[in-house]
Amino acid sequence: MSFRELQLRHLRLISLYGARYVIRGGAGLVYIMLVLSCGLITAHIILLPVEQEAKEKTGVELTDKEMLDHLVEVARPAVQWMLGGKTKNERPVMERSAGNEKEDPEIRWAAYLLDEKPALLSAVILIMFYFTPFLVALGSFNQYSGDIQSKGLRYQLLRTSRTNIYFGRFLAAVFYTVFVNAILIIIIVLYLGLKLDIYAWSALARWGLWGILALIAVSIPYIAFCGWISSMIDSPFGSMTISSIVISAIPLFALFGRATWKPASSICYALPWGIQNYILHPDWTWVLGSLAACGGYTILFLLLGHHHFTKRDL
Amino acid sequence: MTEHAVGIHKLCRNFGQIKALDNVSFTVKRQSIFGLLGPNGAGKTTLFSIAANFIHADSGQVEILGVDVQQIAQLQGRLSILPQDALFQRNVPILEQLVFFRLLDGRTRSEAVGEVKKTLEMVGLGEFMNRRVHSLSHGMIKRLGVAQAFLGNPEVILLDEPTSGLDPANARQIRDLIRELQSRATILISSHNLAEIQELCDHVAILDQGKLVAAGSVAEITRAGRKIDVRLSRPLLYHEITRLSAPQGIRHITDSGAGRYTFHINVSALEAGENEAEAMDQIIRQFLRDLLDMDLIPREFREGTSLEEHFLKVTGKGGD
């Protein structure tokens, strides 16, 4: 078994049929529903105050810009915290001067997302960054385990190599995730553009496209991770449970662990949790570094999974 | 080109403490139908799974068409298998699933569709080609498995219990197909149906608890189990059984009820070679004469051989 056995024709066929089987099997539809529900509910929660203020503004006479500025200021501390920084009150008093605040990278980062880019879309994308790993676990847990359990792969094993099956199915999961994330962001962008009429279409389209690419970049290492787990465990339920537990335990452990022992937060680098937000960073070097790290995680998990899949009994 | 299509060499595989295969070796000639027999848990499916590289051997080697199965990519399109208990995708039409397999084999879509339709017709599933697997019966799914194994022109076909769960008519149809394929492929069949193996196969190997306990041509192996099945006009009385057992040629008699008896021939009474048939004729002649003397009319009479006899003997499941 080696990478020399990779055949583009087989990869294309396996990924194409893999994606179709996922939809027909029902798991794909569940995944679409989950991502769309999660994304649209998030968007709704963010947009609801805007819509409410819009309804009430006849009496208050706020312009669209004023209304948005007000909301952004309310949301800014939460965004700063999500980007890994501290809220204003958490910083030492000496650091609270206006000059220091401008120098604070998280504040600058939050300003980039909320002031320079369409803030509402930034907020949706940022929140989706936190949901995506869990959603990916629910969409990618069954890349191999179900067919290993049912021995359905045996019909393919004499027709193509294990390497083609492994990477073909991984690509099927990636294509499917691209499709679902694109639909989600397109719906939100259309809603923001048509209903609220706050941002220019060009700004929305550019940032929406970047949001889709960013969500995909964050998803891929988790898909590879779930593929690795799925290649090791014969039960789809077992694979889903372990993937979900590992993906959720790492940030929780990092969050609560650092309260007692600061280095415990380093565990978030076991998965892309520690670096994924930098894809939305204003500085391109950080963005590229984050993308490269996502690529590195993907390659690592793919190699581990491929090694296991090609050596194991099927 | 090697003389043998399949060579199993000192194959061992353990599952924990259980020895699924213990130093198994045998070869299968090209364009023959080879039967693999054994009770449940004997290691037949494990052997097939190693031969198809689904699982790996602890030691030993399997060669198919001169290729070590570790290099299974070199056998793509030349080897096919009907795996036991492998499930198809439930919600996908069967035509589409088999077309996908043929596309992987390198066919164009139109070629693949044509071949698949023909094969599905061959196994009697032509009218169900657009049905999904979950709406097929167990027998239909088995035939679908056989169809995917017959797709293309494989030179070696491994069939793990191809007729289990099929009704007699469908089982007959599959056996006929296997016989037709013999001219262009080497076929290995595992089955619990000893009569079927005896009918189809040239050579057999018998596995028991992971060990090879017998191997050879069917004629050779069944020679030890020659018999005469008769249905008599009335049940035999005790003294009649004694009298019929007395001739040297009859080893023992099995009463199947309702006047049906099996008379097992004492093989040592037969001389191997040209005189064997003559000696058998002599035993039958004496046997019929004794029956008529006792005023017993044979309503049915069939001379045969029994693989079952030998199977039960070598696997230690027989009475004697």
pLDDT tens digits for range B205-257? 999 999 998 888 887 777 767 788 888 888 888 888 888 876 667 777 888 88
Q: Which residues of B touch A11 (CB under 8 A)?
A: none
pLDDT at A58: 55
Q: Which fold has domain B226-304?
A: Alpha-Beta Plaits (3.30.70)
Does residue B217 or residue B268 have the better pLDDT?
A: B217
Could you say which architecture CATH assigns to the domain B4-217?
Answer: 3-Layer(aba) Sandwich (3.40)
Whether pLDDT at A90 is above 70? no
The tokens describing B38, both together, are 């054994």
Whether pLDDT at B33 is above 70? yes
Q: Distance of CA A158 to CAs A247, A275, B46, B90, B167, Å?
A: 35, 41, 16, 21, 29
Q: How far is A31 from chain B (nearest CA, A)?
A: 17
Compute the distance between CA of residue B189 and CA of residue B286 in angstroms, rounded to an integer: 39
Q: Do A158 and B76 touch (CB under 8 A)?
A: yes
User: Where in chain B is CATH 3.40.50.300?
Assistant: 4-217
Whether pLDDT at B316 is above 80? no
Give A193's DSSP letter: I
Q: Do A152 and B103 touch (CB under 8 A)?
A: no
Compute the distance between CA of residue A249 and CA of residue A84 in angstroms, rounded to an integer: 18
Span of A60-74, A237-251, B30-44, B182-196 with lowest mean pLDDT? A60-74
Q: Which residues of B touch A5 (CB under 8 A)?
A: 73
pLDDT at A70: 72
Compute the distance between CA of residue B51 and CA of residue B65 in angstroms, rounded to an integer: 12
Helix (H, G, I), strand (E, B) or coil at A39: helix
Whole-number average pLDDT of chain B: 86
Compute the distance between CA of residue A312 and CA of residue A234 in angstroms, rounded to an integer: 11
pLDDT band at A96 (very low <50, low <70, confident <90, very high): very low
Q: Do A158 and B79 touch (CB under 8 A)?
A: yes
Give A95's DSSP letter: G
Q: What is the pLDDT of residues A173-212, one digit of tens each?
A: 999 999 999 999 999 899 888 877 778 889 899 999 999 9
In this structure, which amino acid lies at residue A297?
Y
Whether pLDDT at B16 is above 70? yes
Mutate to test the interface with A, among B89, B105, B133, B188 (most CBs of A within 10 A): B89
Q: Which residues of A touch B81 (CB under 8 A)?
A: 154, 158
Q: Which residues of A touch B52 (CB under 8 A)?
A: 154, 157-158
Q: What is the pLDDT of residues A132-146, one digit of tens each?
A: 999 999 888 889 999
Q: Which residues of A touch B75 (CB under 8 A)?
A: 158
Chain B residues with CB within 8 Å of chain A CB:
49, 52-56, 72-73, 75-77, 79-81, 83, 85-92, 97, 100-101, 103-106, 148
Whether pLDDT at A92 is above 50? no
Helix (H, G, I), strand (E, B) or coil at B304: strand
pLDDT at A214: 94
pLDDT band at A16 (very low <50, low <70, confident <90, very high): very high
Whole-model pTM?
0.84
Chain A residues with CB within 8 Å of chain B CB:
5, 9-10, 13-14, 17, 20-21, 24-26, 150-152, 154-161, 311, 313-314
Compute the distance between CA of residue B285 and CA of residue B199 in angstroms, rounded to an integer: 26
pLDDT at B271: 60
Looking at residues B12-23, what average pLDDT do you find?
93
Whether pLDDT at B270 is above 90? no
Does residue A88 or residue A146 have the better pLDDT?
A: A146
Q: Enter the ipTM.
A: 0.82
Q: How far is A185 from chain B (nearest CA, A)?
A: 30
Q: What is the pLDDT of residues A148-159, one digit of tens each?
A: 999 999 999 999
Q: How far is B90 from chain A (nearest CA, A)?
A: 8
∠A83-A85-A90 over CA atoms, to 5°?
140
Span of A126-130, A162-166, B156-160, B242-246 with lowest mean pLDDT? B242-246
Residues in chain A, total: 314
pLDDT at B5: 92
Q: How far is B105 from chain A (nearest CA, A)?
A: 6
Looking at residues A71-77, what average pLDDT do you find?
75
